[in-house]
Amino acid sequence: MHRISGALLFLALPLVIVPLFAQSVQSPETFAAMKEWVASPACKIVLLVLMWGYFHHFCAGIRYLTLDLHVGNAREPSQRSGALVIGVALALTVIFGLKLFGAW
């Protein structure tokens, strides 16, 4: 599942960024429209959800690297590291969200 989510994140990136960039450089008016759209709360929420996916994937990747080194393979440490991945990813998402919405 981790590899599939990583591949989807990687493959979706150009599908999102290229059209947005192409639209924004057409004219000053389209740039202003894109700037306004990116500043909208709906776009920020979508970005926040995407960043949660990235943060979770990144933290889970570090966890899987440690598991490949046979660190924490037993049931209890594995469950703790899984909970830690979720907690750290959520904390990073909250920090990013606070910065994104201008609370910090």
Q: Token digits for 53? A: 């996916």
Binding-site positions for heme:
57
Q: How large a percentage of the chain has pLDDT more than 70? A: 100
The yes-or-no verdict on residue 92 having pLDDT over 90 is yes
Known binding-site residue numbers:
57
- Judge if pTM exceeds 0.75: yes
- Span 70-82, pLDDT tens digits: 999 999 999 999 9
The ranges assigned to domains in the chain are 1-39, 40-104
H or E segment and range at residue 36: helix 28-38
Residue 28 has pLDDT above 80, yes or no: yes
- The pLDDT confidence band at residue 19, using thresholds 50, 70 and 90, is confident
